[in-house]
């Protein structure tokens, strides 16, 4: 089955994550979508409590660090954000998609492209720390099968990578990070996607 093949970076907000499942590692796609609205967050894809809180945490981080990413804060107030994780019928949970969801949101809000052939896995905290996650070996095998070339991990997961034989990690470039800005430094390209959204925003009120 070819779901796992890597699918390019023409669209803002589509980021490749790595998941652990009882039958082995897998890749997953986080999709983000903005539409004019009132700042409502919608989550779909049968996400569990922990994964939903991960998304909320990623959004809060982004809101209070919008300046460093040149995101106009009014976008948060005048657009609705929808995060979907295909396949829609497969229940998903856990904190390890934290950096993937945050990167997806950063891309959709900046309309910047995601680096090609990149995957990532790692929990985030509200202050932007990246925490290590489990299932590293299975996730790396799945990434290779899906033609991934670079992987972002918490620096505390480096030891897990080193325990895997080199034949499994050959051809993969690992980025070990401690904080969210390092993730975005690697993942977000400078260029915007084609047909980038031109945000329609009200004039700011006097303050």
Choice between 3 and 159, CB closer to Ca ion: 3
Taking the complex as a whole, how short is the minimal distance between the CB of residue 123 and a copy of itself, in angstroms?
A: 6
131 near a copy of itself (CB under 8 A): yes
Binding test (CB under 8 A) with a copy of itself, winner from 15, 18, 26, 31: 31
Nearest to 76 by CA among 115, 40, 112: 40
Choice between 20 and 79, CB closer to Ca ion: 20
Binding test (CB under 5 A) with Ca ion, winner from 6, 13, 18, 26: 26
The beta strands (E) that lie in the chain are given as 15-21, 24-36, 41-44, 79-84, 112-114, 118-120, 123-124, 130-131, 150-154, 173-177, 188-192
Binding test (CB under 8 A) with a copy of itself, winner from 21, 33, 117, 158: 33
Choice between 23 and 89, CB closer to a copy of itself: 89
* Sequence-distant (≥ 6) Cβ neighbours of residue 140 within 8 angstroms: 18, 25, 151, 161, 164, 168, 169, 172
Q: Which residues are catalytic?
A: 96, 139
- Residues forming contacts to Ca ion in the complex (CB under 5 A) are 1, 3-4, 26, 49
């Amino acid at each position: 089955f070819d779901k796992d093949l890597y699918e390019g970076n023409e669209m803002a907000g589509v980021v490749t994550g790595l998941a652990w499942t009882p039958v082995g590692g897998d890749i997953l796609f986080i999709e983000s979508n903005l539409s004019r609205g009132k700042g409502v967050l919608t989550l779909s894809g049968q996400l569990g409590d922990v994964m939903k809180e991960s998304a909320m945490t990623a959004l809060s981080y982004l809101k209070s660090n919008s300046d460093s990413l040149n995101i106009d804060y009014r976008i948060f107030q005048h657009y609705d954000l929808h995060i979907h994780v295909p396949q829609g019928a497969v229940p998903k949970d856990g904190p390890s998609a934290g950096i993937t969801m945050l990167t997806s949101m950063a891309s959709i809000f900046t309309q910047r492209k995601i680096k090609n052939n990149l995957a990532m896995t790692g929990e985030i905290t509200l202050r932007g720390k990246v925490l290590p996650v489990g299932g590293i070996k299975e996730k790396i095998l799945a990434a290779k099968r899906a033609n991934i070339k670079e992987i972002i991990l918490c620096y505390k997961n480096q030891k897990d990578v080193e325990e895997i034989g080199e034949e499994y990690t050959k051809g993969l470039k690992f980025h070990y990070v401690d904080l969210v800005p390092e993730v975005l430094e690697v993942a977000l390209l400078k260029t915007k996607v084609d047909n980038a959204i031109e945000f329609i925003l009200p004039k700011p009120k006097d303050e």
